[in-house]
Amino acid sequence: MNKTRRKALEELLDKIAEIRNLVEAIKDEEEEYRDNIPENLQGSKRYETAEAACDVLCEAVDLLEEAANKIEEVVA
């Protein structure tokens, strides 16, 4: 791999890390929201929606980490 492509991938890794951090911050906020739903509403549609959002955002964070790891394999 030449220097130009390696540099482009390294810049992409920085962007992925930034996006991952943003998604994780939103996930943390959603988890806090979900955790603060009163007990009597924990079986409600609102709770289930928040729970599903947390699951999807967690998966998104994992996939972004996986993508970064794959790119790091190429850059190394």
How far is Cα 55 from Cα 33, in angstroms, rounded to an integer?
A: 14
The reply to whether the predicted model has a pTM over 0.85 is: yes
Give me the residue spans of the domains in the chain. 3-75
Average pLDDT, the chain: 96
State mean pLDDT over 57-73.
97
Name which of 29, 76, 54 is nearest 68 in CA terms.
Answer: 76
Q: What is the pLDDT of residue 1?
A: 86
Q: Name the token pair of 43.
A: 């079986």
